[in-house]
Structure formats: C-alpha cells, structure tokens
Structure 1
Amino acid sequence: MTNEPSNSFRLLLVSSPIGPLGSGLGGGVELTLRNIAMEMRRRGHTVKIVATPGSNSWGMPLVEIDGTPQISAQTQGRDAPTIMPASSALANVWEYARQVQGDYDLILNFAYDWLPFYLTPFFHRPIAHLVSMGSLTEAMDQVIEKVVTEFPGTIGVHSQAQAATFAFADRCQCLGNGIQLSMYEFSAQPSPWIGWVGRIAPEKGLEDAVAASELTGIPLKIMGFLQAEGYWQRILRDYPTAPIEYEGFLETTELQKRLGKCQALLMTPRWVEAFGNVAIEALACGVPVIAYRRGGPAEIVEDGKTGFLVEPDSVEGLVEAIRKLPQIDRYACRQRAEAEYSTTAMGDRVEQWFRDILKWRK
C-alpha cells in the first residue's frame, strides 16, 4: 500500500533555455510558468525557478544559470538533428537540477528540448514535462514517447489539438491554461482598431492579419516580440499602405490596457498552436477573438459567442468575421474567461497532476 503525497510540495520549475523570463523570447511559456509558479505558491507549495540570467522571477526565488541559448525548435525541420552548443544553457540548468534534486519532491520541465526528456530516467526525483508545442521533429517525438511509455502520466499538454499531433495523444494529460484574472481589466467600449499579439515570426502568420487590416481599412495594433526582422521587413514591403502600428513587446499590465481597447484580437497561426494564451487574455479584457480553426484557439473560441472561427489561411474569412463583430457581447467574453481560464481552475488541474505523478512514483 502506498502513502499519499503530503499536502504541500517542494517544486523546482526549470524554464526554457531560449532566453530570459520576461524577454518575450519564450513566447507563451513565460506567462504559463509565471502563472503556475504564483498559483502553486499561493496554495502553500514551495517554489523555486531556474532560468537564464536577466530573468524576471516576479518576486519568487530564482536561480540564474548562464550558458549559450538553444536554437528555437519551431525554426527547424522534421529531420533536424539534436544540437547542443558549447557551454549550453540547457545542459547547465539540468546539471544544476541534477545536483539539487534531493531538495525537491518534483521537478517541472518547461523546455521543449531533447535533453531533459533523455535525462528523465537518470533522475531519482520525478520530472513532470509540460510540453509547449506540438510535434515538430522526429527526434523530439521519439524521446517524448519514450518518456510517456516509461513514466506514464508525466507528459502534460495544453490542448487536445496539440496532443493530436503526437502518435501518443491518448497518453498525454490535457491541462489547458489559466491567467490571473485580476490583472485584466474589462473594457466595454473599444476603440476603432483591431489587435494582433504574438512573436513576430513566420509561423504566426502576421501577414494575414495585416492583409485583413488593409482590406477593411481598420487600423491594426501589433504587439509582441520581434523575433524575425527579415520577416517583418518583408511584411512592410508587401503591404506599404496597410494601416498598421507596431507597439513593441509589452509586459502584462501595459498589454492588457492596449489589448482591452481593441475591437477584436486576430489569431492567424500557420502552425498548430498548443494553446494560445493571448486568446484567454483577450477574453478576460472582454475582447472577441477571431482565430483560424486550427490548434488550441479553436478549443477556446465559442464561434459566434466569444468570437469567430475562420477557415485556416483565409484572409477573406478574417474580413467577413471582422464585419460581424457587432454581434458579439463583450461581457460574454469576460464570463467565458472567468468560468474556464482562471489560475484557480488551472491550479486545480496542475496540482492534481503533480499528486498523481508523486503517487505513481511512491
């Protein structure tokens, strides 16, 4: 007979080695890590974060480990090899985790990288892996499947659509996501523009939102980390008359102020978004979401009630949806966020996931 895990856990949260927390380089992983860390601490668990230098820890204990950042996985092809640069930040953070693992009950991995999955059997403390992207490379698929086979229940995902990109979808724990709703102010009266939020990179499909802005004449406010300068310059060349404005990468407090003034948020991904944190951030502000019927956003948006779902890669569909925005009640958007996407709801799911893993490993 096994003992039940204790009521409080000692948790080590290991960040992505792409860049510092708060820089925007990690995309939605940064917000997810922050919200899980804060919610777990609020529930009485001990939390420490491991990340690269210059990270924002939001007032929580932080260990900064130096090293060369990893190459972003989404920029590589299916057959891409696993690459480790010299003085790898990824290797360094996991060497630290190995050394201190005895001080913790569970380690939570946020890195979509081969090494932590490979190392899992060599740790004597359980590792929970929160996978932030869908299937991208054969090497990653193979090593994640090995872990989910040898350590059942330790692979978490954000949406069913994300899980479906893997051959082992039925063995993933779907955890969704959540945000601290008190940080997002409801805005009943929008300004005469629409918004787009995300990393400015080809897989995010920003050019479709720009094209829709040009066709409707409605200004588009663009917010997010400028990851691919060449891609951005190409958009500016291809749409010289589009009424767009780039507002930069914004911290949550400023982001929600500007996002809340938008008539709608456009989400135009070329790939399968694992979830789409910005969708629930928009709903929390009362902003309808117009998204391609692809990936996580298609599970978040209630078509015709909290926004509209559009056939993937259809600029015409975006334009038609923008014209139907008066049909959407902004209060219904906020209510959807409150009902499904609070940090409390997310915390319940994540905490139970931890309890199950610890129970299985006894």
Structure 2
Amino acid sequence: MTMRICLVASSRYPVAEPFMGGLEAHTHSLAAALKRRGHEVLVFAGHGSDPALEAVTLDVAPFASSDAARSDVGSRPEQWMQEHHAYLDLMLALARGDHGHVDVVHNNSLHHLPIAMSRTLPAPLLTTLHTPPIAWLESAAEFAASSAHYVAVSDHLAGSWSHVVDAQTIPNGIDTTAWRRGPGGPRAVWSGRLVAEKAPHEAIDAALLAGVPLDLVGPAHDRAYFDREVAPRLGPDVRYLGHLAGEPLRRLVGDAGVAVVTPAWDEPFGLVAAEALASGTPVAAYDRGALPEIVTPACGRLAAGGDVVALADAIREAMALDRDAARRRAVEHFDVEVMVDRYEQTYRWLAGVRDAA
C-alpha cells in the first residue's frame, strides 16, 4: 500500500549535497528511498534543496523587530522568530488541509512547533529525534497529541529522552550502493563539520602520534575554531581538502585505510562512521554516544573520549582490520533500505491507529 507522506525538514539548511550535517543527509536518503518505493512524499525543506525532491521551500520571511521590541533585553533573536513563523505557517496550512490529504506527517526538523501543534493535524505525527533533549522540544512534548510517536536514531539517544517520551529506535541509513567498498590506502580520513564539538584537532594529534597521514574534509563552520586549532596543525602529513560532496567524498573515504571519528560530546548517531564502514574503511573512534552501537571489534576500535594516545593506538589497530567485515556491518545494519522498511512499518501502524480511533 502506497501512502502520501508529509516530510518536514529543517528550514535552516538545504537538503542537498554537500550536506551540512547528518540531519540533512538523513532527510534526503529517506525521501529518495520512499519515492523509489512509489510513495508520494511531500517534502518541506530549506531553500536550495535538491530539485529531485520537488521540495516546497519553507520560506523564512524577512523579519525585523521594531525599536520598541529591541529595547526589551529578553527579546528573541531575529532568526528564531523567522523560523518560528515559517513553521507556524506550515502547521496552520496542514491543519487547514491546504496541501491535501496526507497519511502521516513525519517531523524531521529540530523545531518545536510540529510537536506542539500536532493536535491540530488531521494525520498522525511521527517525530525523529536527532539530538539530545533540548528545552523547547521537551516543553513541546507536553502539548503533543496523544497519538504522537517518536523515533530515536540510536538506543543511546532513546535513553537520553526516556524521561520525556518513549522513543522507538530506528538507526540512520545510508545508500550502500553509492557508498561502495574502496581499496583502502595508507592515509586516514576525518569528515564532518570542523567545529569544536567534533574535535578534528584531536584527530590530527592522534594521527600524527600514530604516524599516519590524515585528510580532513567538511565545512569550516566555525572559522575562529578552525583558525585557532586546525590551521596551525596542517602540514605535509595533514591536509584540509575542503567541503567535498558526492563521488569525490565517497572516493576519498574508500581510499583511506581508516576513518577517525572524534566527537567531544555524546554523538546521537555517527553517520560518518556508517559511511566509512560502507566504504570498507574501518573506524577508529571515541567511545561516546551511539558510536559503540555502530563500531564493533570486527570493524573498528574505540578509545576513551578525549584520550589522544589511546586513539592513536586505535588508528594503528583499525588499519589492520578486514575491509570486507566493515562493509558487511554497514550493509546488514545501516543500509537505507533497512531503515526505510522500519519507517514504512511505523507509518502504517500510525495510520491504522488514527483510523481506528
């Protein structure tokens, strides 16, 4: 049975390569796979999203507060208000039926209004939790419809939300036909946003300590951090290759002997680790958040968070692991089709619950 699914994404960043982060990559993979299966997917996303998704742009209308409003020291920032109005407009339109009948509304954003206004919707709401508890999402859950359902991208994340909601776990998925097994090589790779909470500078220190040259790829989202911690560490054995996307990124990861993952916080999932495994590239990572759910002894090594010396040992050991085992781990557990199977089951269950109510 095909369905009409409303997929609500972030208004802040486009759902297009090069992805700003895991949330955008997850939205793209899910929408594309659902479309391939014959579902009608109505995507609401930020400006500049992939035309293949035929997304309706979440228009963030210009907003400038008055002089009187700005005099209030507790006044909300302009960007917050712009995004608030964008989601308010969408939720009111869905409640009125402006976008026609939908079987399920899938909230894949980090905004509170889809949850807080879920009682107004004629269809059940599913929210995927991509981040640890934050105040505005916690408070929104108090107003959610009784039929609202929650999915967490890892068991670790579901546990962190357990004081607020009961969340089903559906791990993120990647297209393992696009992320193909690569030959490996003598270099390490680090990919992601170059920001303090991802700690690429610690990946550099560990790789140099291990005697393994390192390539860094991703957006320098925090320029001050990049200039302070990353740029001074660049040299003959440490290259920053910019923000790669598509085949160049996949080829780089597949040509690496090990992927290094260094979160300075409890990572809710760790999409870059799954992408590396799909490329046959073993992972050396910090034992934080959901990474132990992705990286097993057969496909990688874990080090205590922040322990650069232990991470250097993990890099050396991971480079000797079987690339076929790494690839199998990704295909069996983190393929996008496995993920979509579980979302389809959940959509149908939710639609059935609403119809029976």
2:140 alignment partner in structure 1: 143
Would you say 1:256 and 2:250 are equivalent positions? yes
Task: Select the residue among 159, 165, 187 that pairs with 2:160.
Answer: 165
- 5 Å matches for 1:304-343? 305-343=298-336
Matched AA of 1:343: V
Long gaps (5+) in structure 1: 1-6, 70-79
Indicate yes or no: 2:191 matched with 1:232: no
The 3-state SS of whatever aligns with 1:85 is helix
Partner of 1:183: 178
CA–CA separation in structure 1 for the residues paired with 2:280 and 2:231: 33
Contact 1:163 1:169 in 2 (8 A): no
Counterpart CA distance in 1 for 2:241 and 2:29 is 24
Asked if the contact 1:306/1:330 (under 8 Å) is kept, the reply is yes
TM-score w.r.t. the length of structure 2 is 0.88
1:33 is aligned to 27
For 2:296 and 2:80, locate their aligned partners in 1 and report how far apart those are by CA, in whole Å: 47
Root-mean-square deviation (CA, aligned residues, Å) is 2.5
2:216 partner SS: strand
* Contact 2:234 2:240 survives alignment (8 Å): no
**Cα distance in 1 for residues equivalent to 2:246 and 2:224:** 26
Deviation at 1:155? 0.9
CA shift, 1:162, in A, is 1.0
Amino acid at match of 2:175: Q
Out of 197, 213, 216, the residue aligned to residue 219 of structure 1 is 213
Task: Give the C-alpha shift of residue 26 in structure 1.
Answer: 4.2
- Alignment partners' CA distance in 1, 2:284 and 2:234: 24
Aligned partners of 2:148, 2:340: CA distance in 1, in Å?
17
Q: 1:308-349: per-residue Cα shift (whole Å, max 9, x none)?
A: 111111111110111213441001011111111112211111
Question: Residues 68 and 86 of structure 1 are in contact (CA less than 8 Å); yes or no, is this contact kept in structure 2?
Answer: no
Shift of 1:23: 5.8
2:344 equivalent to 1:351: yes
Q: Hey, what does 2:15 align to over in structure 1? A: 21
Q: Distance in 1 between matches of 2:114 and 2:55?
A: 19
With the length of structure 1 as denominator, give the TM-score of the two structures. 0.86
Aligned counterpart, 2:118 = 120
Contact 1:210–1:242 (Cα < 8 Å) also in 2 = no
Instruction: Tell me how far 1:111 sits from its aligned partner.
Output: 1.1
Q: How big is the shift at 1:238? A: 5.3
Amino acid at match of 1:323: R
Moved over 4 A (4+): 23-26, 80-84
Higher mean alpha-carbon deviation, 282-291 vs 204-213, is at: 204-213
For residues 198 and 84 of structure 2, what CA distance do their matches in structure 1 show?
25
Q: How does 1:76-155 map to 2 (within 5 A)?
A: 85=79, 88-99=82-93, 100-135=98-133, 137-144=134-141, 146-147=143-144, 150-152=145-147, 154-155=149-150
> Residues 326, 280 of structure 1: CA spacing in aligned structure 2 closer, same or farther, 3 A cutoff?
closer
Deviations 1:251-293 (A, max 9, x none): 2322111110111111111112111111111111100011111
Deviation, 1:191, is: 2.3
Structure 1 residues 337 and 237, CA gap change in structure 2 (3 angstroms): closer
SS for the counterpart of 1:182 is: coil
What percentage of aligned pairs have identical amino acids? 28
**Residues 152, 65 of structure 1: CA spacing in aligned structure 2 closer, same or farther, 3 A cutoff?**
closer
- On the 8 A contact 2:281/2:323 being kept in 1, the answer is yes
Which residue in the other structure is 2:69 paired with? none
For 1:162-192, what per-residue CA distance to the aligned partner results, in whole angstroms no more than 9, with x for missing partners? 11222337710111121111112211x3222
Q: How many residues align?
A: 341
Structure 2 CA distance for partners of 1:90 and 1:340, relative to 1, 3 Å:
same
CA distance in 1, matches of 2:331, 2:299: 13
- 1:181 partner amino acid: T
**1:56-98 Cα shifts (integer Å, max 9, x gaps):** 14x13221232169xxxxxxxxxx9986637624532452353
Query: Hey, what does 1:77 align to over in structure 2?
Result: none
CA shift, 1:227, in A, is: 0.9
Alignment CA distance shift 1:169-1:279 (3 Å): farther
Give the partner amino acid of 2:330.
A
Alpha-carbon distance change, 29 to 50 in structure 1, aligned in 2, over 3 angstroms: same
Paired residue type of 2:24:
E
